[in-house]
Amino acid sequence: MTATVPATDTDDVSGVRPAGPSDPGAVPPHALRRVIETALEEDAPWGDVTSETLIPVEARATATLTAREPGVLSGGEVFAAVMHAVDPAVRTELHLSDGRTFAAGQVLATVEGPARSVLRAERVGLNLVQRMSGIATVTARYVAAVAGTATRVTDTRKTTPGLRALERYAVRCGGGHNHRNSLSDAVLAKDNHLAVLLAGGTSIGDAVRDARGRLGHTVHLEVEVDRLDQVEPVVSAGVDTIMLDNFTPEQLVDGVRLVAGRALVEASGGVSLETVGAIARTGVDVVSVGALTHSARALDLGLDVDVTAALAGDGARVTGG
Protein backbone atom coordinates (compact mmCIF):
# COMPACT_ATOMS: atom_id res chain seq x y z
CA MET A 1 0.00 0.00 0.00
CA THR A 2 1.11 3.56 -0.67
CA ALA A 3 -0.74 6.37 1.00
CA THR A 4 0.82 9.42 -0.58
CA VAL A 5 -0.33 12.99 0.00
CA PRO A 6 1.16 15.52 -2.42
CA ALA A 7 3.09 18.18 -0.49
CA THR A 8 3.47 21.87 -1.32
CA ASP A 9 4.90 24.81 0.53
CA THR A 10 1.44 25.80 1.77
CA ASP A 11 -0.15 22.34 1.77
CA ASP A 12 -2.79 23.92 -0.44
CA VAL A 13 -4.99 21.77 -2.66
CA SER A 14 -7.01 23.39 -5.44
CA GLY A 15 -7.03 26.68 -3.59
CA VAL A 16 -8.61 25.38 -0.37
CA ARG A 17 -7.25 25.89 3.12
CA PRO A 18 -7.43 23.58 6.13
CA ALA A 19 -10.79 23.54 7.88
CA GLY A 20 -9.33 22.57 11.22
CA PRO A 21 -6.14 22.06 13.18
CA SER A 22 -2.95 21.78 11.14
CA ASP A 23 -2.41 18.35 12.68
CA PRO A 24 -5.45 16.46 13.99
CA GLY A 25 -3.17 13.71 15.26
CA ALA A 26 -3.93 10.14 14.33
CA VAL A 27 -6.28 7.30 15.12
CA PRO A 28 -4.59 5.01 17.68
CA PRO A 29 -3.26 2.04 15.64
CA HIS A 30 -4.71 -0.61 17.94
CA ALA A 31 -8.18 0.97 17.71
CA LEU A 32 -7.98 1.26 13.94
CA ARG A 33 -6.87 -2.36 13.56
CA ARG A 34 -9.73 -3.58 15.76
CA VAL A 35 -12.34 -1.59 13.81
CA ILE A 36 -11.10 -2.76 10.43
CA GLU A 37 -10.82 -6.42 11.44
CA THR A 38 -14.33 -6.40 12.91
CA ALA A 39 -15.85 -4.61 9.92
CA LEU A 40 -14.24 -6.89 7.34
CA GLU A 41 -15.26 -10.02 9.24
CA GLU A 42 -18.80 -8.71 9.44
CA ASP A 43 -18.98 -7.83 5.72
CA ALA A 44 -17.28 -10.93 4.29
CA PRO A 45 -17.00 -13.63 6.96
CA TRP A 46 -16.34 -16.38 4.39
CA GLY A 47 -15.13 -14.30 1.49
CA ASP A 48 -16.85 -12.28 -1.24
CA VAL A 49 -19.01 -14.83 -3.03
CA THR A 50 -20.05 -12.40 -5.77
CA SER A 51 -16.56 -11.32 -6.79
CA GLU A 52 -15.12 -14.80 -6.44
CA THR A 53 -17.85 -16.12 -8.74
CA LEU A 54 -17.93 -13.37 -11.36
CA ILE A 55 -14.53 -11.66 -11.42
CA PRO A 56 -11.54 -13.45 -12.97
CA VAL A 57 -8.71 -13.95 -10.52
CA GLU A 58 -6.32 -12.21 -12.96
CA ALA A 59 -8.47 -9.08 -13.27
CA ARG A 60 -7.03 -5.83 -12.00
CA ALA A 61 -8.85 -2.64 -11.11
CA THR A 62 -8.12 1.04 -10.93
CA ALA A 63 -10.62 2.96 -8.83
CA THR A 64 -11.13 6.59 -7.88
CA LEU A 65 -12.63 7.80 -4.61
CA THR A 66 -14.70 10.77 -5.76
CA ALA A 67 -16.72 13.35 -3.83
CA ARG A 68 -20.37 13.69 -4.85
CA GLU A 69 -20.76 16.77 -2.63
CA PRO A 70 -18.41 19.28 -0.97
CA GLY A 71 -17.08 18.65 2.52
CA VAL A 72 -14.10 18.13 4.81
CA LEU A 73 -12.08 14.95 4.44
CA SER A 74 -11.52 12.60 7.35
CA GLY A 75 -10.53 8.96 7.09
CA GLY A 76 -8.37 8.95 3.99
CA GLU A 77 -5.69 6.90 5.73
CA VAL A 78 -8.42 4.68 7.20
CA PHE A 79 -9.76 4.03 3.70
CA ALA A 80 -6.24 3.13 2.56
CA ALA A 81 -5.74 0.88 5.59
CA VAL A 82 -8.89 -1.09 4.75
CA MET A 83 -7.62 -1.70 1.22
CA HIS A 84 -4.26 -2.86 2.58
CA ALA A 85 -5.88 -5.11 5.21
CA VAL A 86 -7.79 -6.97 2.50
CA ASP A 87 -4.76 -7.29 0.24
CA PRO A 88 -1.29 -5.73 0.65
CA ALA A 89 -1.01 -5.80 -3.14
CA VAL A 90 -3.61 -3.02 -3.37
CA ARG A 91 -1.97 0.40 -3.66
CA THR A 92 -3.81 3.53 -2.52
CA GLU A 93 -2.68 7.03 -3.39
CA LEU A 94 -4.31 9.82 -1.39
CA HIS A 95 -4.68 13.13 -3.21
CA LEU A 96 -5.88 15.12 -0.20
CA SER A 97 -4.94 15.08 3.48
CA ASP A 98 -7.43 14.78 6.32
CA GLY A 99 -8.81 18.10 7.54
CA ARG A 100 -8.84 19.64 4.06
CA THR A 101 -11.94 20.85 2.27
CA PHE A 102 -12.95 19.49 -1.14
CA ALA A 103 -15.44 20.25 -3.89
CA ALA A 104 -18.08 18.05 -5.49
CA GLY A 105 -16.48 16.01 -8.24
CA GLN A 106 -13.00 16.14 -6.73
CA VAL A 107 -10.96 12.92 -6.78
CA LEU A 108 -9.76 12.21 -3.25
CA ALA A 109 -7.82 8.98 -3.79
CA THR A 110 -6.83 6.46 -6.45
CA VAL A 111 -6.71 2.72 -5.82
CA GLU A 112 -5.01 0.08 -7.98
CA GLY A 113 -4.70 -3.65 -7.49
CA PRO A 114 -6.36 -7.05 -7.87
CA ALA A 115 -10.00 -6.41 -8.77
CA ARG A 116 -11.41 -8.96 -6.33
CA SER A 117 -9.56 -7.33 -3.45
CA VAL A 118 -10.62 -3.80 -4.36
CA LEU A 119 -14.25 -4.88 -4.62
CA ARG A 120 -14.13 -6.75 -1.33
CA ALA A 121 -12.67 -3.74 0.51
CA GLU A 122 -14.87 -1.16 -1.20
CA ARG A 123 -17.92 -1.03 1.07
CA VAL A 124 -16.08 -1.13 4.39
CA GLY A 125 -13.64 1.53 3.22
CA LEU A 126 -16.44 3.75 1.94
CA ASN A 127 -18.58 3.31 5.06
CA LEU A 128 -15.77 4.53 7.29
CA VAL A 129 -14.51 7.45 5.19
CA GLN A 130 -18.08 8.62 4.48
CA ARG A 131 -19.00 8.50 8.17
CA MET A 132 -15.83 10.24 9.28
CA SER A 133 -16.01 12.92 6.59
CA GLY A 134 -19.63 13.61 7.51
CA ILE A 135 -18.58 14.24 11.12
CA ALA A 136 -15.66 16.43 10.07
CA THR A 137 -17.90 18.46 7.77
CA VAL A 138 -20.55 19.09 10.42
CA THR A 139 -17.89 19.94 13.00
CA ALA A 140 -16.32 22.50 10.65
CA ARG A 141 -19.70 24.25 10.37
CA TYR A 142 -19.99 24.50 14.16
CA VAL A 143 -16.43 25.78 14.42
CA ALA A 144 -17.13 28.41 11.76
CA ALA A 145 -20.25 29.49 13.67
CA VAL A 146 -18.19 30.39 16.77
CA ALA A 147 -15.45 32.19 14.86
CA GLY A 148 -14.35 35.37 16.58
CA THR A 149 -14.83 33.94 20.07
CA ALA A 150 -12.45 32.00 22.32
CA THR A 151 -14.95 29.16 22.74
CA ARG A 152 -13.95 25.60 21.91
CA VAL A 153 -16.41 23.26 20.21
CA THR A 154 -16.10 19.74 21.64
CA ASP A 155 -17.68 16.36 21.11
CA THR A 156 -19.24 14.11 23.76
CA ARG A 157 -19.36 10.38 24.52
CA LYS A 158 -22.44 10.08 22.29
CA THR A 159 -20.51 8.12 19.70
CA THR A 160 -21.20 4.97 17.69
CA PRO A 161 -20.23 1.95 19.82
CA GLY A 162 -16.86 0.66 18.65
CA LEU A 163 -16.10 3.71 16.50
CA ARG A 164 -15.27 6.30 19.16
CA ALA A 165 -11.58 6.61 18.25
CA LEU A 166 -12.41 7.21 14.58
CA GLU A 167 -15.24 9.62 15.29
CA ARG A 168 -13.21 11.67 17.78
CA TYR A 169 -10.43 11.92 15.19
CA ALA A 170 -13.00 13.11 12.66
CA VAL A 171 -14.06 15.88 15.06
CA ARG A 172 -10.46 17.05 15.22
CA CYS A 173 -10.24 16.99 11.43
CA GLY A 174 -13.18 19.42 11.38
CA GLY A 175 -11.42 21.81 13.75
CA GLY A 176 -13.20 20.68 16.91
CA HIS A 177 -11.80 19.34 20.15
CA ASN A 178 -12.39 16.19 22.17
CA HIS A 179 -14.09 15.91 25.55
CA ARG A 180 -13.06 13.08 27.88
CA ASN A 181 -12.58 9.86 25.97
CA SER A 182 -14.16 7.52 28.49
CA LEU A 183 -15.53 7.15 32.00
CA SER A 184 -11.99 6.32 33.12
CA ASP A 185 -10.49 9.68 32.13
CA ALA A 186 -12.06 12.24 34.46
CA VAL A 187 -14.77 12.79 37.05
CA LEU A 188 -17.90 14.28 35.51
CA ALA A 189 -20.81 14.35 37.93
CA LYS A 190 -24.03 14.73 35.97
CA ASP A 191 -27.67 15.06 36.96
CA ASN A 192 -28.20 11.37 37.72
CA HIS A 193 -25.10 11.19 39.93
CA LEU A 194 -26.28 14.25 41.84
CA ALA A 195 -29.82 12.87 42.15
CA VAL A 196 -28.46 9.78 43.92
CA LEU A 197 -26.33 11.91 46.24
CA LEU A 198 -29.14 14.34 47.07
CA ALA A 199 -31.51 11.44 47.80
CA GLY A 200 -29.01 10.30 50.40
CA GLY A 201 -28.93 13.70 52.05
CA THR A 202 -25.59 14.89 50.66
CA SER A 203 -25.42 18.44 49.33
CA ILE A 204 -23.74 19.24 46.01
CA GLY A 205 -21.08 21.32 47.72
CA ASP A 206 -20.21 18.63 50.26
CA ALA A 207 -20.09 15.98 47.54
CA VAL A 208 -17.69 18.05 45.44
CA ARG A 209 -15.43 18.84 48.39
CA ASP A 210 -15.32 15.18 49.37
CA ALA A 211 -14.48 14.14 45.80
CA ARG A 212 -11.79 16.80 45.54
CA GLY A 213 -10.19 15.54 48.73
CA ARG A 214 -10.09 11.93 47.57
CA LEU A 215 -8.94 12.48 43.99
CA GLY A 216 -5.35 12.64 42.86
CA HIS A 217 -4.11 16.10 41.95
CA THR A 218 -3.96 15.22 38.23
CA VAL A 219 -7.61 14.08 37.96
CA HIS A 220 -9.95 16.61 36.36
CA LEU A 221 -13.20 17.25 38.23
CA GLU A 222 -16.29 18.57 36.43
CA VAL A 223 -19.84 18.96 37.73
CA GLU A 224 -23.04 19.61 35.79
CA VAL A 225 -25.65 22.03 37.14
CA ASP A 226 -29.02 23.05 35.74
CA ARG A 227 -29.80 26.05 37.97
CA LEU A 228 -27.97 29.28 38.69
CA ASP A 229 -28.24 28.81 42.47
CA GLN A 230 -26.08 25.67 42.14
CA VAL A 231 -23.15 27.54 40.59
CA GLU A 232 -21.61 29.07 43.71
CA PRO A 233 -21.67 25.93 45.91
CA VAL A 234 -20.06 23.90 43.13
CA VAL A 235 -17.39 26.42 42.15
CA SER A 236 -16.42 27.28 45.72
CA ALA A 237 -15.97 23.57 46.45
CA GLY A 238 -13.10 23.39 43.97
CA VAL A 239 -14.25 22.06 40.58
CA ASP A 240 -12.03 22.40 37.53
CA THR A 241 -14.96 22.77 35.12
CA ILE A 242 -18.63 23.55 35.66
CA MET A 243 -21.13 22.46 33.05
CA LEU A 244 -24.17 24.70 32.63
CA ASP A 245 -26.82 22.41 31.17
CA ASN A 246 -29.71 23.72 29.09
CA PHE A 247 -29.17 27.33 30.17
CA THR A 248 -30.53 30.13 28.02
CA PRO A 249 -27.97 32.61 26.62
CA GLU A 250 -29.07 35.11 29.27
CA GLN A 251 -28.58 32.53 32.03
CA LEU A 252 -25.17 31.60 30.59
CA VAL A 253 -24.07 35.23 30.84
CA ASP A 254 -25.10 35.23 34.50
CA GLY A 255 -23.37 31.90 35.08
CA VAL A 256 -20.10 33.09 33.55
CA ARG A 257 -20.27 36.19 35.76
CA LEU A 258 -20.85 34.08 38.89
CA VAL A 259 -17.97 31.72 38.12
CA ALA A 260 -15.71 34.75 37.63
CA GLY A 261 -12.79 32.82 36.23
CA ARG A 262 -12.56 30.32 39.09
CA ALA A 263 -13.28 27.37 36.80
CA LEU A 264 -13.74 26.60 33.13
CA VAL A 265 -17.34 27.05 31.99
CA GLU A 266 -18.91 24.52 29.64
CA ALA A 267 -22.30 24.96 27.99
CA SER A 268 -24.28 21.91 26.93
CA GLY A 269 -27.78 20.89 25.96
CA GLY A 270 -29.92 22.21 23.14
CA VAL A 271 -26.93 23.23 21.04
CA SER A 272 -27.51 23.54 17.30
CA LEU A 273 -25.93 25.36 14.38
CA GLU A 274 -28.55 28.05 14.85
CA THR A 275 -27.77 28.59 18.54
CA VAL A 276 -24.07 27.81 18.97
CA GLY A 277 -22.88 31.27 17.94
CA ALA A 278 -25.03 33.02 20.52
CA ILE A 279 -23.95 30.52 23.16
CA ALA A 280 -20.27 31.13 22.41
CA ARG A 281 -20.73 34.90 22.65
CA THR A 282 -21.84 34.56 26.28
CA GLY A 283 -18.21 33.98 27.23
CA VAL A 284 -18.27 30.25 27.96
CA ASP A 285 -15.00 28.39 27.45
CA VAL A 286 -16.44 25.23 25.92
CA VAL A 287 -19.58 24.21 24.05
CA SER A 288 -20.11 20.44 23.96
CA VAL A 289 -22.20 19.19 21.03
CA GLY A 290 -23.47 15.62 20.94
CA ALA A 291 -24.82 16.16 17.43
CA LEU A 292 -21.29 16.21 16.02
CA THR A 293 -21.23 12.42 16.26
CA HIS A 294 -24.72 11.13 17.02
CA SER A 295 -26.52 13.02 14.24
CA ALA A 296 -23.93 13.55 11.51
CA ARG A 297 -24.95 12.33 8.06
CA ALA A 298 -22.54 10.20 6.07
CA LEU A 299 -21.05 12.27 3.27
CA ASP A 300 -21.77 11.19 -0.30
CA LEU A 301 -18.51 9.75 -1.61
CA GLY A 302 -18.30 7.13 -4.31
CA LEU A 303 -15.76 4.62 -5.56
CA ASP A 304 -15.78 4.26 -9.36
CA VAL A 305 -13.99 1.10 -10.42
CA ASP A 306 -12.62 0.37 -13.90
CA VAL A 307 -12.01 -3.36 -14.17
CA THR A 308 -9.88 -4.86 -16.95
CA ALA A 309 -9.75 -8.64 -17.24
CA ALA A 310 -6.13 -9.57 -17.85
CA LEU A 311 -6.98 -12.66 -19.89
CA ALA A 312 -10.06 -11.59 -21.86
CA GLY A 313 -9.03 -7.96 -22.27
CA ASP A 314 -12.61 -6.86 -21.73
CA GLY A 315 -13.32 -3.67 -19.77
CA ALA A 316 -16.26 -3.08 -17.47
CA ARG A 317 -17.25 -0.12 -15.31
CA VAL A 318 -18.62 -0.98 -11.87
CA THR A 319 -20.00 1.35 -9.20
CA GLY A 320 -20.38 -0.54 -5.95
CA GLY A 321 -23.12 -0.62 -3.36
Out of 141, 157, 158, 212, pick the active-site residue.
158
- Exactly one of 77, 98, 122, 224 is catalytic; name it: 224
Among this protein's residues, is 98 annotated catalytic?
A: no
User: What single-letter amino acid sits at 168?
Assistant: R
Q: Pick the closest to residue 125 from 190, 75, 172 (CA basis).
A: 75
Could you confirm whether 285 is annotated as catalytic?
A: no
Catalytic residue among 226, 245, 300, 306: 245
User: Half-sphere exposure (CA, 13 Å, Cβ side) for 298?
Assistant: 11
Active site residue 112: no
- Which residue among the candidates 91, 100, 116, 123 is catalytic per the annotation? 123
**Is 123 in the active site?**
yes
Residue 297 Cα to chain centre, angstroms: 12
Catalytic residue among 157, 190, 212, 262: 190
Q: What is the dihedral of CA 48, 52, 53, 57, to 10 degrees?
A: 160
245 classed as catalytic: yes
Q: What amino acid positions are annotated as catalytic residues?
A: 123, 158, 190, 224, 245
